[in-house]
A and B are shown apart, each in its own frame.
Chain A
Amino acid sequence: MLIGLLFFFGQMPITVVATTDSISLKPPTNLRAMDTPNDHGESITLFWDRPLDISNIEGYQIFREAEDESLHLAGYAPVNKTEYLDQLGLRNNVEYQYSMRSINPEGVVSIFSELPPVVTAYPQWFKKNEVNILIMIIIYLGLVVYFVRIARKGKKIFLRRIPGLDALEEAVGRATEMGKPILYVPGIWPMDEIGTIAAMNILKPVSKKVAQYESRIIVPCIDPIVMNVAQQTVKEGFTEAGRPDRYNQDDVFFLTSAQFAYAAGVNGIMVREKPATNLFLGVFFAESLLLAETGNATGAIQIAGTDRVPQLPFFVAACDYCIMGEELYAASAYLSEDPRLISSIKAQDWGKMAILISLFFGSVFSIFGLRFILSWFSAG
C-alpha cells in the first residue's frame, strides 16, 4: 500500500507547480526510525542525513502510515534539523512506516526518501539515562542508614545552631506573657511539597512548646489535606506535652484554597486576633510580602522560612528572623531531635561536600579536556 502510494506521490510528479524543480529537489537520505528510548512509549524518533544541496529547501515533510492508518502528513522539520520526535497520536505496539520528502518555499516537493524498516513504539520499564540518579539515591540512603546507626549507638551528631530557631522559644514565651496567640501559617502548597512536609515537622515541636507554655496556636490552612495533617500534628504536640485538654481543633482550620483570598483572610486574622508571634514556615509565593508586611505592621515578632528562593528577600526585609532555603529542612530535623532526620541532614552535608569536590576536580579536569566527571552529571 505504502509503496504504491509512494510510487504515486513520489515517482510521479506530485505537484503541477514545476516538475523540473521537483526533480532537482532531493529528499533526505539515510532515514532511520527508532522507538524513543527511556520513555513511557507512544513516541518514535526519526534521524536522517540532509541532502547535499539544501540551498532551495525550506524543510522536510514527515509522512506516517500504519495498518489502520492511511499515509498522512505527520510532521514537519526545518531544513537545519536532522532529528524529529513524533508523539502525535502514536500507539504502543503498532507498526509504523515512515517516509520524508523535502519542500521548497514555493511549495514544490521532492520525491519521497527511501523507506526505513517499520518501527514500533513501546514503553521502557527502566530509564537507563537516569542511572546516575539511582546511584545518588542509593549512596544517600546508605549514608542515612550509616548515620542513623551511629546516632543510635549514642554518638551525638553535631548540627549548628540556626538563628531563627533559637528565637522560636523566645517568640512563644513572648506570646504567652502577652496573653496573645501564636499564628502559624504553613504555606500555600499541598502536602506533596517537601517544604510543606518540613512545615508540618516544625509544627509539632512548636505545638508542644505552645502546650507547655499553656498558650494558643492558630493554624489557618489553604488545603484540606494540609489541614488534616496540621490537626493531627498539633494534637500530637499537645498530647506529648501532656496537655491534650488544651488542644482546640477549631484553631486549626481550612480558610480558602485561593491564594490571595487566603492572604486576605490571614491578614484579617492578624489585625483582629493580634497574635504576638507570627510563624510563616512552608512554601510561599507572591503573598509572602502581603503577609509579612501586615504582621510587621501589627507589631508581632515574626519568624519566616521558605524554600522558595524568590520569596526570601521579602521575608528577610519584613521579618525578624528568616530561615533560608535548606535551613527549613534542617530546622525540622533540629527541632524534632529525631535521629533519623538529623542523620539525613548529616548525609545531605556529605552530599554537598561530594558535589563541591566533584565541581572542583571536574572543572580542573575539564579545562584540560578530560570530561569524565562532567559527563557523569550530563547523563540523563
Chain B
Amino acid sequence: MSISTSIWVWMAALLTLMVYSFLYKDNPFYRLAEHIFMGLSLGYTLTILWYNYIIPRVYEPLFLPPHQWSLIFPILLGMMTFGIFSKKYSWLIKYPLAFYVGGYAGLRIPLLLQSWIIRQVEASFLTPDKFTSLMSSINAILIFAGLFATLIYFYFSKKREHGFGAAAQVGIVFIMVAFGAAFGYTVMARISLLIGRMQFLLHDWLGIM
C-alpha cells in the first residue's frame, strides 16, 4: 500500500469523493465541488474562446497586415447581441439571431435530408442480396416491418384507428425493444466509467489495488 504523494491526485480524489457525496444527499462538500467545476469550466471556456477565436480570427486578421476589413460585417453582426444589455437597443439582437438560425437551418436541412432520410431509406430497401440465408432473410424482413410500423407510429395527422392504430402499436413495441437494448448497452458503458473512477481512487490515490 502506497498512498499517493501528488497534490493533484489528492485534489482529484477529494473532488471525486465530494461529487459522490451527492448520492447521500445535497451537502456543502458537493456544493463546493459543483461550484469549482462550474467556475473552472467557465474560465477554461473563456480562455479557449479568447486564444482560439478572438485573437486568431478577429484581432489578428483585422489589426495585423494584410487587414481583412470584410470581417467588420460579421463582427458588427455579432456585437449586435450585446444589445440585450440595453432596453433601448435590445431589438438589435434579432438580426444576428435570425442570421444564425436561418443560416444554419439552410446549411443543415440538405445535410440532414441526405444522412437521416435518403441514406436510411436506401439502406432499408429489400434487395435480393439481403436474402442470402435464412437468418439474413428474417433479419431483413424484421427490419423492414419494424421501419414500417415505427414510421406509422410517428404519423401525426391521422387518427389511430383500425389497422393504422394496430400498426402504431407494433411500432411502439419495436421502439421499446430498441430502447431496452440501447439502455443496457449504455449502462454497461457507465459501469466502466465507475470502474475507472474506482481504479483511480484505489490504485492511483490509495495504492491498495
Contacts and interface: CB of A to CB of B under 8 A. Distances in A.
A123 B159 CA distance: 49
Sort chain B's interface into a size bin. Answer: 35 or more
Contacts of A262: 38
A260 B121 CA distance: 35
B37 A264 contact: yes
A379 B10 CA distance: 57
Nearest to A368: B128
Contacts of A268: 26, 30-31, 34
A229 B94 CA distance: 9
Interface in A211-266: 224-225, 228-229, 231-232, 255-258, 260-262, 264-265
A309 B44 CA distance: 30
B97 interface: yes
A232 to B, nearest CB: 7
Interface string B27-54: 0001101100110111011000000000
Nearest to A157: B157
Contact of B81 (A133, A228, A310, A312): A228
Contacts of A355: 117, 121, 151
Contact of A378 (B19, B105, B109, B122): B122
Contacts of B178: 309
Contacts of B147: 359
B41 A258 contact: yes
Interface string A275-299: 0000000000000010000000000
B104 interface: yes
A363 interface: yes
Given A160-B159, A192-B108, A363 B114 contact: no
Contacts of B101: 191-192, 197, 229
Contact of A312 (B19, B34, B144, B179): B179
A191 B121 CA distance: 28
Contacts of B22: 267
Contacts of A346: 157
Interface in A122-141: 130, 132-133, 136-137
A353 B167 CA distance: 14
A114 interface: no
B109 to A, nearest CB: 7
A137 B109 CA distance: 9
B209 interface: no
B189 to A, nearest CB: 9
B88 interface: no
B19 A264 contact: yes
B110 A133 contact: yes
A326 B157 CA distance: 13
A256 B25 CA distance: 23
B74 interface: no
Given A192-B100, A192-B108, A265 B34 contact: yes
Given A231-B84, A271-B26, A366 B156 contact: no
Interface stretch (B57-65, B180-188, B199-207): B180-188
A325 interface: yes
A322 to B, nearest CB: 10
Given A330-B156, A355-B121, A359-B121, A136 B45 contact: no
A155 interface: no
A314 interface: yes
B125 interface: yes
A356 B121 CA distance: 9
Interface string B119-147: 00110111110000000000000001001
Given A232-B93, A258-B44, A261-B42, 16 more contacts: A130-B110, A133-B118, A158-B159, A160-B157, A228-B84, A258-B38, A258-B45, A265-B34, A313-B183, A349-B157, A353-B155, A359-B121, A362-B125, A367-B128, A369-B128, A380-B114
A-B pairs, top 6 by smallest CB distance, nearest first, are A258-B41, A192-B104, A363-B126, A313-B183, A261-B41, A313-B179
14 contacts: A130-B110, A130-B114, A133-B118, A136-B117, A137-B109, A192-B104, A192-B105, A256-B45, A261-B42, A268-B30, A289-B190, A349-B156, A349-B157, A359-B148
Interface of A: 130, 132-133, 136-137, 157-160, 162, 191-192, 194, 197, 224-225, 228-229, 231-232, 255-258, 260-262, 264-265, 267-268, 271-272, 289, 309-310, 312-314, 316-317, 324-327, 330, 345-346, 348-349, 352-353, 355-356, 358-359, 362-363, 366-367, 369, 373-374, 377-378, 380
